[in-house]
Amino acid sequence: MKLLFGVLMLSLQLLMIVCARFDIPKYFCWAPHDQQCIYHLSVTIDGKPLTSKQINERYHLNTWRYWNNGAYKWVNLESRSIKNVKNIIRQYEATYGNNDRTKVVLSYRINGGQEQTWQWQPQQ
Amino acid sequence: MAARNKPGNGSRNNDMNSARYNPLKLSGTDLPSHLLLMVKLLTLALIGKGYIQHLPQPFLPFLPVFDHIHGVLFQITLKTSFIIAALLLFTNQKVRLSCFVLGSVFLLGTLSSKTYYSNAKFFCGLIYILTALSESKGRPWLIHGQLIIMYFGSGINKVLDIDWRTGQYFDHWMIHVIHAKSYELLADLSSHEFISKMLSWKTMIIEIVVLPVTLFFRKWQAVGVWIGIVFHSLAFWMSGLSFGVFMAAALISYLAFAPDSPRVYVHGLGDSLLARVLKSILRAFDVDERFIFSEEKDGQDSTGVNIKLLSENGWLTRLNQWRLLAIYHPLTYILLTVFFSITFLPNIFQHLATMACLILFFPFYGAFKGFSGKVN
């Protein structure tokens, strides 16, 4: 029975590794440093913009010291997948922030590539 | 030797009773001694890195049920459970249950909060749980399997990403996120494209092929462990990052490949002041009394490992005997864990620990001429 449970735990991880190939956030699939995503969030609640500090506190996000153009600056960094950030925002706004009438604009670069944008706003 | 092993009198029984709760005792529990050492060191590393303080309250959980649990109560329960389980583990009580609780703390903490999630915590939780599920005898293949899956999964995720294949990820990471001067120097000497691609593919090949294959086959596991040490050491030296507790946890988990602790006969240590001090230290950390010190230079005992510190087969052989003494003694692993984990120690200690691992666990000493240090 114990061994069966152990084998089940290992098998679930193999399943998650396969599932990571699809368009889902990368958790439990051993993708620790797949992407380095530098991103910037603009969040408004009822039309009022939040500061960076407020945004980081809202979603419990961390910052990292980033070297660019000869200087360091503090940025938001996701080192697994940008889908994880999108997933966090969606889940927060669908649950804890359900009544906030939030609009979110996520600008990001994956591994220093082209800037991309993603938006979230409450469904009417 | 005989005096240390005589049947007990009253004071000897008292010694045995007090040793039962000694954190340095590794035998006499339901877990093999190398696995017990592994989980104790992992716990030490987690405490040293401050992971108890950061156990979470539920926030954006993977399972919605956690949103209905009182946040502060949940956090206090996790912390209390960790402390109690760690105490039980260190005092050799209900070791499997303790491992299960410790693993559950990290897995439940992870499931309760997406922002708390990290591969390091996930890995630690799994190692504890799989240790609790491992058989008392035989190889702990669940833990072997876990390491193989971890490396393979990590490598597969990378090789299927075009930025890893082209080296773009590595170049960006090293220059902008890490700002590694060693990498920039290397890249300037050749080209960014060449170096980043080489380092990327080195990483992927090691994770997908080299480590899973060498860790799978028993006769290659010593080589696989050393390659793993090289792999993690290079990552640490280039990036300056130990990735939280992950590097320490990965290296500690390699104890799952060690044989169960044999008796060790040490010949020729001598009777100088330094030798007596060393013997006292070694004995203090050898609560299981596996180390037997003999004055005979050429003694041999077929029931365990023989280490001959005054071998006449050259300085390299004598050095290798000291290396064997180090790798069989638990004090080595305690010191390495402390160096890797205690956050207020300067970074130099982690560098020393990685270099020590590379030297101690080098598996090819037998290939050097003049080596004759056979172990049973």
Q: Are residues B156 and B110 in the same domain?
A: no
What is the residue range of A18's domain? 1-31
Q: State the smallest CA–CA distance between residue B139 and chain A in angstroms.
A: 13
**Domain contains B14:** no
Kindly state whether residues B206 and B224 are assigned to the same domain: yes
SS3 of B142-184:
HHHHHHHHHHHHHHHHHHCCHHHHHCHHHHHHHHHHCCCHHHH
In a domain, B308, yes or no: yes
Do B221 and B282 share a domain, yes or no? no
Q: Residue for token digits 């640490």?
A: B236
The residue assigned the tokens 């156990």 is B55
CB atoms within 10 A of CB A70: 5
On whether both A81 and A114 belong to a single domain, the answer is: yes
What is the distance between the alpha carbons of residues B20 and B34, in angstroms, rounded to a whole number? 17
Domain count of the fold of chain A: 2
Residue B310 lies in a domain: yes
Same domain, yes or no, for B230 and B270?
no
How many whole angstroms separate alpha carbon B30 and alpha carbon B17?
Answer: 17
Same domain, yes or no, for B145 and B253? yes
At A108, give phi and psi (nearest 5°): -150, 155
Percent of chain B clearing pLDDT 90 (strictly above): 70
How far apart are the C-alpha atoms of B254 and B263, rounded to whole Å?
21
Is pTM, for the whole model, over 0.95? no
Is B164 inside a domain boundary?
A: yes
Q: Does one domain contain both A47 and A107?
A: yes
My answer on whether A74 and A38 are in the same domain is yes
Is A64 in Cβ contact with B177 (below 8 Å)? yes
Residues belonging to chain A with any Cβ–Cβ distance to chain B shorter than 8 Å = 2-3, 5-7, 9-10, 13-14, 17, 20-21, 26-36, 38, 59-61, 64, 66-68, 72, 77, 79, 84, 87-88, 91-92, 95-96, 110-113
- Measured between its terminal Cα atoms, the distance across chain B in Å is 20
B157-204: pLDDT as tens digits: 999 999 999 999 999 999 999 999 889 888 888 888 999 999 999 999
pLDDT of residue B331: 95
Question: Is residue B5 domain-resident?
Answer: no
Position with higher pLDDT, B92 vs B368: B92
Q: Which residues of A touch B144 (CB under 8 A)?
A: none
ipTM of model: 0.93
Last residue of a domain, one of B216, B232, B257: B257
pLDDT tens digit sequence for B59-77: 999 999 999 999 999 999 9
Q: How far apart are CA B99 and CA A2, in angstroms?
A: 14
Single residue among B133, B152, B178 that ends a domain in this structure: B133
Share the mean pLDDT of chain B. Answer: 89
pLDDT tens, position by position, A21-49: 887 888 999 987 889 999 999 999 998 99
Same domain, A47 and A80: yes
Are A25 and A39 within one domain?
Answer: no
Instruction: Report the distance separating Cα B233 and Cα B254, nearest Å.
Output: 14
Size of interface A-B (CB pairs under 8 A): 109
Give the count of domains, chain B.
3
Instruction: Pick the closest to residue A77 from A97, A60, A89, A63 (CA basis).
Output: A63
Is it the case that residue B324 has pLDDT exceeding 80?
yes
State whether A102 and A50 are in the same domain. Answer: yes
Cβ-based neighbours of B231, under 8 Å, separated by 6 or more: B203, B206, B211
Helix (H, G, I), strand (E, B) or coil at B59: strand
| Chain A contact present for B146, CB below 8 A | yes
- Which contiguous run of DSSP H or E holds residue A49? strand A48-49
Question: By the 8 A CB rule, do A79 and B161 touch?
Answer: no
Q: Which domain holds residue B154?
A: 141-257
Alpha carbons B325 and B216: distance in angstroms, whole number: 27
Q: Let me know whether B282 and B361 are in one domain.
A: yes
Please check whether residue B280 lies inside any domain of the structure.
yes
A54 shares its domain with A79:
yes
CA distance B331 to B351: 18
Strand-pair partners of B266: B293, B307
For residue B254, give the DSSP letter: G
How many angstroms separate the CA atoms of B301 and A89, rounded?
65
Residues of B whose CB is below 8 A from A84: 114
pLDDT, tens digit, for every residue of B254-311? 999 998 778 899 988 888 899 899 999 999 999 999 999 987 766 677 778 888 887 6
**Residue range A77-91, pLDDT digits in tens:** 999 899 999 999 999
Question: What DSSP element (H or E) covers B36?
Answer: helix B33-48
- Among residues B204, B223, B257, which one ends one of the domains? B257
Structure letter (DSSP) for residue B53: T
Q: Is residue B375 part of a domain?
A: no
**Are A81 and A27 in the same domain?**
no
DSSP β-bridge partners for residue A115: A109
d(C-alpha B41, C-alpha B102), whole Å: 13
Those residues whose C-beta lies under 8 Å from the C-beta of residue B370, and which sit 6 or more positions away, are B313, B314, B316, B317
B130-148, pLDDT tens digit by residue?
999 999 888 999 999 999 9
- Residue A71: strand pairing partners: A68
**Beta-ladder partners of A120:** A104
Site from A2, A7, A30, A62 to mutate, B interface, most B CB atoms within 10 angstroms = A30
Here the tokens at position B283 are: 């004995």
Q: Is residue B37 part of a domain?
A: yes
In this structure, the answer to whether residues B38 and B68 fall within a common structural domain is yes
